[in-house]
Structure 1
Amino acid sequence: MRQGAAMRDLGDDRRHESGTGDGGPLTAAEAAVLRGLLASLPLNGQRLKAERYVRGLLSVRGRKTLRSVAAQFDGASAQQSVHHFISASPWDWTPVRHDLARHAQRALAAQAWVIGTTLIPKTGPHSVGADPQQTPLGTVNGQCTVGAWLASERAAVPVDWQLRLSARWTADPLRSRASVPEDAAADTVETCVRRAVAGLAEIRGLPRLPVVVDVPEAGGMPLVRILAAAGRPFAVRVSPSLPVRIDRWELPTYGDLLRTAGDLAESLPHLRQQVNPGDGSTTVAAVPVVASPRRREPMTLLGEWCPERRAFPRLWLTGRDPSGVAAALRLTRLTAVVERDLVEVSDRVGVRDFGGRSFPGWHRHITLASVAHLMAVSARGHRGAVTRDRSPAQERDYRPVI
């Protein structure tokens, strides 16, 4: 996320001053799509409330809080029913997310799943899951989330969400106040990422898309093995400190001692090459590596240097894809599409705006906000692919530090 955008996210209503820009009435075709996305809700009254809630997320100016969205419903009792529908009604958000995934895949012709973290700043400690979060720009109070997005070169749509809970949120009295399920345990970001990856297999009717995981601190070998075992092409961003070994089947003159990924990429300049993945030439080292000398699981460590960046390269672990380095790099570019649409679309339909204390309420709100995101992307229509800004300012300043 660009620094200016990240700083705006810390304000209260500043990013919402102009409304969503998508608040016009839905066309008949769009209304039919919306009804289809909500068809899994078992009761007609639930479907009507959900549809009106999504319309509110698309049209209400300012922050899309429960109160502001409920205000479009006539009468105090109707407004109270909206609070109950989001925070306390027993409807399951998972089928809605699965229908959203299937429709988003058709609408976007998605090329991959992109999994990454999103920080939702909060002004106080009472919103469910809110805790002090460490970021590159200091400590920020807020919620740490992991999102699974379907992405193409033109647009991205969030489909599934995990909310990381610290130990204080999984113990009473906060657990009971927030209606956190009994079987929920304190999470790390890594366990949230693994849960997000596991959830992809539960969505029926989708092609087996590649998975891009842009969470360096959680991108260890266990996650890579999970993706490889599932038979999915993958690109997992890794920390420079991740230990790896050179694949001596490919480079027999090198030892098989453990080296850090950053050191390995830096120490083999003769493996660097110029590659153009479609957005300009970049310098890349493609190093054949294995996870263990006893289990040959061939992978490629990609280190990418940008001319403006003098620090460590961006590091990714991928499979040995016969389509080559350029194809793998094109997958990694989808993270920029997610970052753009998080700011340009998700924030404008209220993805970060739920301020309640209810854990189920958070999931229901963010599910319907994700539906609103798809509707807004569809209304936006076709637009050009994202051009990568190679300046350091593009890095996500408020990605949580794990």
Structure 2
Amino acid sequence: MENIFSALLRRDQRERAREYIKGLQRTPGRKSIRNIAQHSGDSSAEQNLHHFVNGSTWDWQPVRRALAGVLAEEIGETRAWVGYPLVIPKGGSKSVGVQRRFHPEFGRMVSAQWALGLWMAAESGSAPVNWHMEIPSQTGAGAIVPTLDRASTERTGAIVGSLLAQIDPGESARMLVLDARGLDAGALITQLRHVGAPLYLRVAENYPVEVATRSPTPAWHVASAGAALDLSQRGHYAGAGEPVVYSKAKVRLPNRPRADGDLGLWGLDHGVRGRSGTLWLTDVATVHAGSVLRARRLLDMAAATQDYQLEHLGIRDFSGRSLAGWHRHATLVSVAHTIRSLRSAATARGVLTGSRVRAAGA
């Protein structure tokens, strides 16, 4: 852990970081500062930890960059970026960033904190290395977000680009994976092409695309993504022990310049009875089925890790009006998860050497 917290120049801050992370990992129940302090048995711990998270001056971005460096060394060249939302239901106005918005999965208005995590991911594991929390503005707070909302799309694209630039502007990855259901995926692809990584966006069944008719003369017409795949040829892929029925189509985006080029639309288990199908849009027109399947696995992994491991470490347990406090708490949860994951992987391999010792040592 020493190299991750090398950005903390003061010894007392490094000590508080160790104490807080141990508390996140060992305190039963809700990971509030009070519960962590009570579990530690130190009568002064609550005041010290409260100041460390909410009132101290340490910058979380250098810590996140160091965390990303440790993960990059562990994961290697197979790493990918995954952007995954974090919704933290909250009532009242005593917590930072709470706003009432439409939740597409729930199909109703939800009062919550709305955040986005940037995950470094591979089949061997994943962890969030940067976070953004949306702060409600005077205008639009509480508004229902319609399907393919342009403002939400532009905001999401800007957030993802900013999160990547904050970690390492020169960082390369095999792919960038996002859940774009409810967003204008085509506009998001245009906005994020500068990232330099192939884009894989999960889209909704009703997302509009232009697809070419087969005969006698090819012509483009608008159809839903689901309908476009219903007319496409199916295939089977059994790589990595995960057999899947796939369908694919070359599509364009309605009302977009032809210079934007063709996109690949893929369905994994789309229309297959008894299976949960997903639809994907990618800017790599000649991509292999295995790459699309990998994008689905990495998105599912981030979702499962957030819902179980990060939930257990208290990612939704911060309370207070301090945005800086929330960012520090989210950073420490990310570090606690990474330490636990590295230790588990090292135990399984029977080795713990080099920077992994410094990363995992408390």
Give the residue type in structure 2 aligned to 1:365.
H
Q: Distance in 2 between matches of 1:297 and 1:230?
A: 17
Alignment equivalent of 1:295, drawn from 234, 239, 259: 259
Q: Distance in 1 between matches of 2:275 and 2:337?
A: 36
* Matching residue of 1:348: 312
1:126-146 residue CA offsets vs partner (Å, 9 max, x unmatched): 221223454444544322221
Alignment equivalent of 2:178, drawn from 204, 213, 217: 213
Partner of 1:237: helix, strand, or coil? Answer: strand
Q: Distance in 2 between matches of 1:189 and 1:121?
A: 22
Partner of 1:37: helix, strand, or coil? Answer: coil
Deviation at 1:168, TM superposition (A): 5.2
* Matching residue of 2:95: 127
Give the residue type in structure 2 aligned to 1:118.
L
Give the residue type in structure 2 aligned to 1:126.
K
Q: Distance in 2 between matches of 1:254 and 1:167?
A: 47
Partner of 1:100: helix, strand, or coil? Answer: helix
Instruction: Please say if residues 244 and 258 of structure 1, whose CA atoms lie closer than 8 Å, have aligned partners that are also in contact.
Output: yes
* Matching residue of 1:179: none
Deviation at 1:265, TM superposition (A): 2.0
Cα 1:368–1:331 change in 2 (3 A) is same
Q: Distance in 2 between matches of 1:239 and 1:108?
A: 31
Deviation at 1:247, TM superposition (A): 6.3
Q: Distance in 2 between matches of 1:263 and 1:329?
A: 21
Q: Which moved more, 1:220-229 or 1:157-166?
A: 220-229
* Matching residue of 1:398: none
Partner of 2:182: helix, strand, or coil? Answer: helix
Deviation at 1:337, TM superposition (A): 1.4
Give the unaligned 5+ runs of structure 2.
Answer: 142-150, 349-362
1:359-387 residue CA offsets vs partner (Å, 9 max, x unmatched): 11111100111000101111222799xxx
Deviation at 1:255, TM superposition (A): 1.8
Cα 1:200–1:154 change in 2 (3 A) is same
Alignment equivalent of 2:211, drawn from 246, 261, 270: 246
Asked if 1:66 corresponds to 2:28, the answer is no
Deviation at 1:114, TM superposition (A): 1.1
Asked if 1:203 corresponds to 2:167, the answer is yes
Q: Distance in 1 between matches of 2:263 and 2:20?
A: 46
* Matching residue of 2:114: 144
Give the residue type in structure 2 aligned to 1:354.
F
Cα 1:251–1:373 change in 2 (3 A) is farther
Deviation at 1:108, TM superposition (A): 3.1
Q: Distance in 2 between matches of 1:44 and 1:281?
A: 52
Alignment equivalent of 1:112, drawn from 61, 80, 91: 80
RMSD over equivalenced CA pairs, Å:
3.0
Q: Distance in 1 between matches of 2:289 and 2:347?
A: 26
* Matching residue of 2:344: 380
Q: Distance in 1 between matches of 2:182 and 2:166?
A: 25
Asked if 1:79 corresponds to 2:46, the answer is yes
Q: Distance in 2 between matches of 1:380 and 1:372?
A: 12
* Matching residue of 2:65: 98
Within-5 A mapping of 1:204-353: 204=168, 206-246=171-211, 253-266=217-230, 268-269=231-232, 271-291=233-253, 292-304=256-268, 305=270, 307-308=272-273, 313-320=277-284, 322=286, 324-353=288-317
Cα 1:62–1:324 change in 2 (3 A) is same
TM-score between the two structures when normalised by the length of structure 1: 0.73
Q: Distance in 2 between matches of 1:166 and 1:229?
A: 28
Q: Distance in 2 between matches of 1:106 and 1:148?
A: 17
* Matching residue of 2:356: none
Deviation at 1:164, TM superposition (A): 2.0
Count of matched residue positions in the alignment of Structure 1 and Structure 2: 331
Partner of 1:245: helix, strand, or coil? Answer: strand
1:239-289 residue CA offsets vs partner (Å, 9 max, x unmatched): 2333322369x99943223333233222x14x2222234343322221112
Instruction: Please say if residues 245 and 256 of structure 1, whose CA atoms lie closer than 8 Å, have aligned partners that are also in contact.
Output: yes
Alignment equivalent of 1:157, drawn from 127, 135, 150: 127
1:221-251 residue CA offsets vs partner (Å, 9 max, x unmatched): 1211233333211201122333322369x99
* Matching residue of 1:49: 16
Cα 1:197–1:43 change in 2 (3 A) is same
Q: Distance in 2 between matches of 1:162 and 1:199?
A: 8
* Matching residue of 1:394: none
Instruction: Please say if residues 155 and 341 of structure 1, whose CA atoms lie closer than 8 Å, have aligned partners that are also in contact.
Output: no
Cα 1:196–1:338 change in 2 (3 A) is same
Instruction: Please say if residues 212 and 221 of structure 2, whose CA atoms lie closer than 8 Å, have aligned partners that are also in contact.
Output: no
1:123-179 residue CA offsets vs partner (Å, 9 max, x unmatched): 5442212234544445443222211111111321111111122225999xxxxxxxx
